[in-house]
């Protein structure tokens, strides 16, 4: 079970024409009143096919209000998750994996060698340190 943030109506706008409401009987114990009243609410957001069902209150109006709030929270969570995935994907493409294959150059002071992995050229570290970098390109 997760705790969802309750968004305001301004944060998540839902067109009433995109909603499909169904009233049904609640499940579980409750006796005669539960068996004859349609107090449970099932709400479906048609564009995303996201569906919620609320039957916690005795009143259908209260269940409708709760179902709309729950639907807003789920839609906001899906949108925030999509944005976070997009952001991390862009970051991953910019940074790379950090593996050896992502390196542009290898600089080895100990061996006095610099290797440009893109062009395949090599030069001494002494010349590289003096600023003759254009020879590698």
CATH fit for domain 16-95, picks 3.40.50.300, 3.20.140.10, 3.30.160.20, 3.20.20.70:
3.30.160.20
**pLDDT tens profile 3-37:** 777 777 777 888 889 999 998 877 777 777 666 67
* Span 95-122, average pLDDT: 85
**pLDDT tens profile 38-77:** 888 999 999 999 999 998 888 888 999 999 999 999 999 9
Measured CA to CA in angstroms, residue 92 lies from 53, 95, 99, 118, 124 at distances of 38, 5, 12, 20, 32
Task: Give residue limits of the domains in the chain.
Answer: 16-95, 100-135
Q: What's the predicted TM-score (pTM) here?
A: 0.63
**pLDDT tens profile 116-131:** 988 889 999 999 999 9
Question: d(Cα 81, Cα 1) in Å, to the nearest integer?
Answer: 17
């Amino acid at each position: 079970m997760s705790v969802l943030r309750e968004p305001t109506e301004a944060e998540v706008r839902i067109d009433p024409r995109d909603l499909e409401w169904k009233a049904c009987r609640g499940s579980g114990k409750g006796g005669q009143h539960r068996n004859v009243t349609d107090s449970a609410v099932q709400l479906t957001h048609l564009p995303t096919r996201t569906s919620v069902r609320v039957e916690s209150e005795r009143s259908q109006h209260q269940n409708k209000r709760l179902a709309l709030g729950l639907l807003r929270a789920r839609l906001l969570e899906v949108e925030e998750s999509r944005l976070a995935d997009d952001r991390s994907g862009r970051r991953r493409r910019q940074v790379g994996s950090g593996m050896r294959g992502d390196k542009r150059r290898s600089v080895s002071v100990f061996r006095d060698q610099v290797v440009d992995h893109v062009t395949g050229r090599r030069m001494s570290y002494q010349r590289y340190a003096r600023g003759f970098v254009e020879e590698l390109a």
